[in-house]
Structure 1
Amino acid sequence: MGRVLIACERSGVVRRAFEALGHDAWSCDIEAADDGSNRHIRGNVLDHLDDGWDLMAVMHPPCTILCNSGSKHLYLGMKKANGINPERWAKLEEAAAFYRALRDAHQIPRRVVENPVMHGHAIRLTGRGRTQFVHPYFFGEPFFKNTGLELVNLPALRPTNMLKPPRPGTAEHKAWSRCHREPPGPDRARRRSETYPSIAAAMADQWGALLPEPQMELFGSLAA
């Protein structure tokens, strides 16, 4: 079983999926774990990249700055004609640098970075590479949430239970769009960012199977 770091996660959804299959899985975030787990590192994940991980899954980088829907905020008054918003651009460059630092952590042989549908400036600044996009309904959960996974030395996830999406305009389609219809509130961003359990289970099952078995210490001398 492998040693797995789930970066930028406080919910514990992905950590628990890997842990359930016997992996030495830890989450890390600047906030405390929602489930109170003792397998959660509270702190800056950049300080823990050299701790001997076999795989790192970065689940929630600062997506509100990188996502396509936030591009209008890069400009004063949300209008390009007004010129750039220097504060917002500085935050974009900071978020992109954080993304790159995790994606390019070569000391961890297998890496995946979750990312939203990015605007062009974010794609350019992050240098985003090979990216797979998935929805929860690829894995048996009746919801829309287009999620990018930039993969480094990992294969694309295989859908496990592809559902047929409902027709637009129907009540069922609205129910599937729950993520995009979250009401305003202090927890809206956190609720929208949480990983669906079916996707976490697919990650643990498919990517966990690629991880090396632990090295067993040999005691005694070898027979001549």
Structure 2
Amino acid sequence: MQRSFAFPIRSQSRTRSLRVLVACEFTGTVRNAFLDRGHDAWSCDLLPAENGSNRHIRGDVRNFLADGWDILIVAHPPCTRLCRSGRRWLSGPGNMTPPKKLPKGRTWESMKAEFEDGVDLFVSCWRAPIDRVAIENPEMHDLATARMPKDLPRPQIVQPFWFGHPEYKGTGWYLRNLPALQETERLGEPPKDSEEWKAWNRVWRMPPSAARGKERSRFFPGMATAMADQWGGYALEQFHLEAA
């Protein structure tokens, strides 16, 4: 398959850098956190890079999984049909039967197609020929779980306020050969129903709009920094031990 970009040749310096692919990211937040630590990091998304970065691959990540990466991070894959909140749209009586009512403008066939594509994307990334994988996704409903690989663990659920961001957004990480993220700057939580607490729930309180999905997918820089430090550091430590 022809490509319109070329990966740079890895430096032959004594300090090893990691080849990191950050999938389903158009903002570059996670990619840049790894770049700032000297790694050969790229983002990949169907959307163009928000800032026009030349470190961005526009396309389906499934076409690039075998390109020799050390770490794959799937930052915000489409999860509407896999997460528990989407279960009601996939089953009337029995399993995978039309519900009584579909979302406005949608067909049952399109809902099923989105579910199948979501399953395929997740499984393809989990089974990618890459040693270390982290996939962000909420806990899944039973229909999605039944289609997942047998070795898939339960996700680690973290919150943005563990990493210095005054917000609530439970973020699940499915991890293969990477350690659980450790909090770096935990903030004290505001009193429930206070104005500050409402502000912390900004993500869930966003009104419907054409840009809502895009805005909700924006990543948290503090969490990205923790990922680059902790997962990048862990991978480098493993390479050092293997070389010793």
TM-score by length of 2: 0.80
**Alignment-derived partner of residue 56 in structure 1:** 72
Shift of 1:36: 0.7
- The equivalent position to 2:189 in structure 1, one of 155, 165, 168, is 165
Q: Given that residues 164 and 222 in structure 2 are in contact (C-alpha distance below 8 angstroms), is that contact kept between their aligned partners in structure 1?
A: yes
Separation in structure 2 between the aligned mates of residue 58 and residue 17 of structure 1, nearest angstrom: 14
**Pairing of 1:190-209 with structure 2 (within 5 A):** 190-209=214-233
Separation in structure 1 between the aligned mates of residue 23 and residue 148 of structure 2, nearest angstrom: 17
Paired letter, 2:159: H
Aligned with 1:203: secondary structure?
helix
Gaps of 5+ in 1: 216-224
Aligned with 2:133: secondary structure?
strand
**Alignment-derived partner of residue 140 in structure 2:** 118
- The equivalent position to 1:23 in structure 2, one of 28, 39, 46, is 39
| Identity score, percent | 46
Shift of 1:121: 1.8
Q: Given that residues 97 and 126 in structure 1 are in contact (C-alpha distance below 8 angstroms), is that contact kept between their aligned partners in structure 2?
A: no
Q: Given that residues 24 and 44 in structure 2 are in contact (C-alpha distance below 8 angstroms), is that contact kept between their aligned partners in structure 1?
A: yes
Q: Which segments of structure 1 move beyond 6 Å, counting only runs of 4 or more?
A: none
Paired letter, 2:184: T
Shift of 1:77: 3.2
Aligned with 1:126: secondary structure?
coil
Shift of 1:86: 4.6
**Pairing of 1:93-112 with structure 2 (within 5 A):** 93-105=116-128, 107-112=129-134
Separation in structure 1 between the aligned mates of residue 236 and residue 33 of structure 2, nearest angstrom: 18
Q: For 1:124-143, what per-residue CA distance to the aligned partner results, in whole angstroms no more than 9, with x for missing partners? A: 22344241001101111110
Separation in structure 2 between the aligned mates of residue 85 and residue 54 of structure 1, nearest angstrom: 39
Q: Given that residues 117 and 146 in structure 1 are in contact (C-alpha distance below 8 angstroms), is that contact kept between their aligned partners in structure 2?
A: no
Separation in structure 1 between the aligned mates of residue 45 and residue 116 of structure 2, nearest angstrom: 20
Paired letter, 1:151: L
RMSD: 1.9
Separation in structure 2 between the aligned mates of residue 116 and residue 11 of structure 1, nearest angstrom: 20
Separation in structure 2 between the aligned mates of residue 73 and residue 7 of structure 1, nearest angstrom: 26
Higher helix content, 1 or 2: 1
Separation in structure 2 between the aligned mates of residue 123 and residue 94 of structure 1, nearest angstrom: 14
Gaps of 5+ in 2: 1-16, 91-97, 240-244
Separation in structure 2 between the aligned mates of residue 186 and residue 169 of structure 1, nearest angstrom: 28
Separation in structure 1 between the aligned mates of residue 77 and residue 68 of structure 2, nearest angstrom: 21
Aligned with 1:77: secondary structure?
coil
- The equivalent position to 1:142 in structure 2, one of 144, 155, 166, is 166
Q: Given that residues 139 and 155 in structure 2 are in contact (C-alpha distance below 8 angstroms), is that contact kept between their aligned partners in structure 1?
A: no
Separation in structure 1 between the aligned mates of residue 80 and residue 51 of structure 2, nearest angstrom: 24
Q: Given that residues 72 and 78 in structure 1 are in contact (C-alpha distance below 8 angstroms), is that contact kept between their aligned partners in structure 2?
A: no
**Alignment-derived partner of residue 219 in structure 1:** none
**Alignment-derived partner of residue 5 in structure 2:** none
Shift of 1:161: 1.2
Paired letter, 1:179: V
TM-score by length of 1: 0.87
Separation in structure 1 between the aligned mates of residue 51 and residue 174 of structure 2, nearest angstrom: 27
Separation in structure 1 between the aligned mates of residue 99 and residue 224 of structure 2, nearest angstrom: 38
Shift of 1:104: 1.1
* Structure of higher RCO (CA pairs closer than 8 Å, 6+ residues apart): 1
Q: For 1:24-78, what per-residue CA distance to the aligned partner results, in whole angstroms no more than 9, with x for missing partners? A: 0000111110011000011111111111110010011111111222222224334
